[in-house]
C-alpha cells in the first residue's frame, strides 16, 4: 500500500525553505510574534476569569453594610439577631475587618478578624482554625498571605509587624505563619488575626462591626432574603454574590475591550501578510514551479510540495509562539499585558496567574493562523501550476 505522505516531497520542501532562509525567517518571526500575542491574550483572560470565578464562589451569599451619606459605616452587632429571624437564613455573622495602608511599601493589606469559637464564613478560615497549628484567639499573633509575607520581608519585617493605630500608637503583632488559599485574589493580600486584636488596631467598639455576612439554606432564595433584609433595615446596603458577579463582569468586559482592540490589530496585521502572500508568487517562485513542471512534476505534486512547505513554516511558528506565550504568561507572570486587567496601581500586593489549560484557545488560534496561511500559499501556487511549463518560465 502506497503511503499518502511522500517523504521525498517533505525533504524537498525543507530544502526549499532553507534556500529562501532570509525570507522565510522573516515570515516565521512575524508569524511567531502574532501567535504569541494572540495566545498570551487568551491565556491571561482565561486565568483572570478563573480567579474571579473562584473568588466569587468563596464569598458570602449576602453582605450587609451600614450606609450613611453615601459611605460605609460600622454596623450594630445586634442586627445579626434580627437577620437570623428571617426564614431561610441559616447563618449570620458580624465581621470585623478593614484595610491597612502600609505607606512604606505603598500597598493595602486586608486585615480580617476571626473568632475560633464561632462558625467561619469561609471554608479556608475553618480549615485554619480546625487545624490547630496556630492559635490566634487571645494572642497578639497573625497569619499573613503570601503577598503580605513578601512585602514584609522586603521591608525587614520577618518576625513581627508594627501597626499604627488611629491614635498614633504602635501595636506590635507577631507573625505566626503564612496563610495559604486556593485563590491568590482571596488570600494574597490578607492578614488574619483575632477579632479583639482587629478592634484594637482599628478602634472598633465591641457593639460595632464592619459588616454582616449572611448564608441562606436555598441559594435560589438569596434575592428574596436580601429584599427582606433591606425592608427591615432601610439604611443598609445589601450585596449578593449575583450583584458582585455583575459588577466583576462589567469590569472584566471593559478590560476585555482593550484586549479585543489588541486582538483585532493582531488579526488585521496577520491578514495583511496573508493578502500579500495570496496576491501572487514572486518571479523566482513562478520560475521554480515552471522548472518542476518541465522535468515532469504533476500539478498535484507541486501543490503537495507547497502544502508541506507552508505547513512546516506555519506549524513551527505556531508551536514556537504558543511555547513562548506559556513561558511569558505563567513563568514571567505576563509583564505589561497583565497590567491591562490588574491595573498599574501600587495600592495592592502582587498575585500569580493560575495555570488554566484551555484546549479551545489553542484550537482557535491554530485555525485562525495555520490553515489560512497554508491556503494563502496553495491558491496562487495552483494558479501557476495549471499553466504550461514554457509559459510559466517565460
**Whether residue 101 sits in one domain with residue 192:** yes
Report yes or no: 199 and 206 within 8 Å, Cβ to Cβ. Answer: yes
Does the residue 223 lie in any domain?
no
In whole angstroms, give the CA distance from residue 38 to residue 365. 7
**Whether residue 127 sits in one domain with residue 258:** no
Report yes or no: 201 and 97 within 8 Å, Cβ to Cβ. Answer: no
Last residue of a domain, one of 140, 175, 203: 203
Phi, psi angle pair for 209, to nearest 5°: -145, 165
**Whether residue 323 sits in one domain with residue 254:** yes
**Whether residue 268 sits in one domain with residue 170:** no
Last residue of a domain, one of 169, 203, 237: 203
Q: pTM here?
A: 0.69
State the pairing for strand pair 141-145/170-179: parallel
**Whether residue 260 sits in one domain with residue 386:** yes
Based on the structure, what is the number of domains in the chain?
A: 2
**Whether residue 38 sits in one domain with residue 106:** no
pLDDT on residue 125: 65
Sequence-distant (6+) residues with CB within 8 A of 240 are: 61, 62, 63, 222, 223, 226
Does the residue 142 lie in any domain?
yes
**What's the pLDDT tens digit per position in 312-342?**
999 999 999 999 999 999 998 888 777 766 6
In whole angstroms, give the CA distance from residue 28 to residue 320. 9
pLDDT on residue 344: 47
17: left (phi over 0), alpha (psi -120 to 50) or beta: alpha
**Whether residue 348 sits in one domain with residue 253:** yes
Does the residue 243 lie in any domain?
no
**Whether residue 264 sits in one domain with residue 373:** yes
**What's the pLDDT tens digit per position in 190-209?**
898 989 999 999 999 999 99
**Whether residue 189 sits in one domain with residue 102:** yes
**Whether residue 117 sits in one domain with residue 51:** no
Q: Where are the alpha helices (DSSP H) in the chain?
A: 7-19, 21-58, 79-84, 123-131, 146-154, 184-187, 195-202, 222-232, 241-278, 283-294, 299-326, 338-342, 359-385, 389-393
Does the residue 67 lie in any domain?
no
**What's the pLDDT tens digit per position in 17-41?**
898 888 889 889 988 988 998 898 8
**What's the pLDDT tens digit per position in 287-312?**
777 788 788 888 888 889 889 999 99
**Whether residue 258 sits in one domain with residue 166:** no
For residue 341, the enclosing domain spans 7-55+248-393
Last residue of a domain, one of 203, 224, 259: 203
In whole angstroms, give the CA distance from residue 347 to residue 103. 9
* Burial of 322 from C-beta contacts in 10 A (0-12 / 13-18 / 19+): buried
Residue 94 has pLDDT above 60, yes or no: yes
Q: How confident is the model at residue 4 (pLDDT cuts 50, 70, 90)?
A: low
Does the residue 232 lie in any domain?
no
Residue 234 has pLDDT above 90, yes or no: yes
Does the residue 349 lie in any domain?
yes
Does the residue 92 lie in any domain?
no
Does the residue 61 lie in any domain?
no
Beta bridge partners of 179: 145
Amino acid at each position: 500500500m502506497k503511503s499518502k505522505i511522500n517523504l521525498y516531497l517533505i525533504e524537498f520542501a525543507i530544502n526549499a525553505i532553507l534556500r529562501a532562509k532570509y525570507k522565510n525567517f522573516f515570515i516565521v518571526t512575524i508569524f511567531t510574534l502574532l501567535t504569541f500575542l494572540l495566545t498570551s491574550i487568551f491565556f491571561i483572560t482565561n486565568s483572570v476569569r478563573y480567579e474571579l470565578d473562584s473568588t466569587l464562589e468563596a464569598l458570602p451569599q449576602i453582605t450587609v453594610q451600614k450606609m450613611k451619606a453615601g459611605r460605609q459605616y460600622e454596623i450594630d452587632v445586634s442586627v445579626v439577631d434580627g437577620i437570623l429571624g428571617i426564614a431561610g437564613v441559616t447563618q449570620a455573622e458580624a465581621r470585623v475587618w478593614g484595610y491597612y495602608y502600609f505607606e512604606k511599601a505603598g500597598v493595602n493589606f486586608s486585615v480580617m478578624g476571626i473568632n475560633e469559637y464561632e462558625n467561619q464564613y469561609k471554608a479556608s478560615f475553618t480549615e485554619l482554625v480546625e487545624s490547630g497549628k496556630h492559635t490566634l484567639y487571645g494572642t497578639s499573633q497573625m497569619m499573613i498571605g503570601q503577598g503580605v509575607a513578601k512585602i514584609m520581608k522586603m521591608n525587614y519585617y520577618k518576625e513581627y509587624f508594627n501597626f499604627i493605630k488611629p491614635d498614633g500608637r504602635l501595636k506590635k503583632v507577631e507573625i505566626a505563619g503564612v496563610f495559604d488559599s486556593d485563590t491568590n485574589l482571596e488570600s494574597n493580600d490578607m492578614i488574619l488575626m483575632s477579632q479583639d486584636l482587629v478592634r484594637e488596631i482599628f478602634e472598633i467598639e465591641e457593639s460595632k462591626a464592619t459588616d454582616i455576612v449572611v448564608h441562606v439554606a436555598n441559594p435560589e432564595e438569596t434575592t428574596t432574603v436580601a429584599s427582606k433584609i433591606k425592608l427591615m433595615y432601610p439604611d443598609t446596603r445589601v450585596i449578593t454574590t449575583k450583584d458582585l458577579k455583575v459588577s466583576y463582569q462589567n469590569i472584566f468586559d471593559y478590560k476585555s475591550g482593550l484586549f479585543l482592540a489588541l486582538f483585532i490589530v493582531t488579526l488585521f496585521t496577520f491578514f495583511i501578510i496573508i493578502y500579500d502572500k495570496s496576491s501572487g508568487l514572486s518571479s523566482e517562485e513562478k520560475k521554480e514551479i515552471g522548472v518542476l513542471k518541465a522535468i515532469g512534476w504533476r500539478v498535484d505534486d507541486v501543490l503537495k510540495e507547497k502544502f508541506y512547505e507552508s505547513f512546516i513554516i506555519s506549524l513551527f511558528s505556531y508551536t514556537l509562539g504558543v511555547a513562548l506565550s506559556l513561558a511569558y504568561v505563567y513563568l514571567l507572570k505576563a509583564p505589561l499585558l497583565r497590567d491591562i486587567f490588574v491595573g498599574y496601581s501600587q495600592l495592592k500586593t502582587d498575585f500569580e496567574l493560575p495555570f488554566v489549560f484551555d484546549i479551545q484557545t489553542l484550537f482557535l488560534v491554530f485555525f485562525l493562523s495555520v490553515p489560512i496561511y497554508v491556503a494563502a500559499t496553495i491558491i496562487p501556487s495552483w494558479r501557476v501550476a495549471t499553466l504550461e511549463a514554457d509559459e510559466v518560465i517565460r
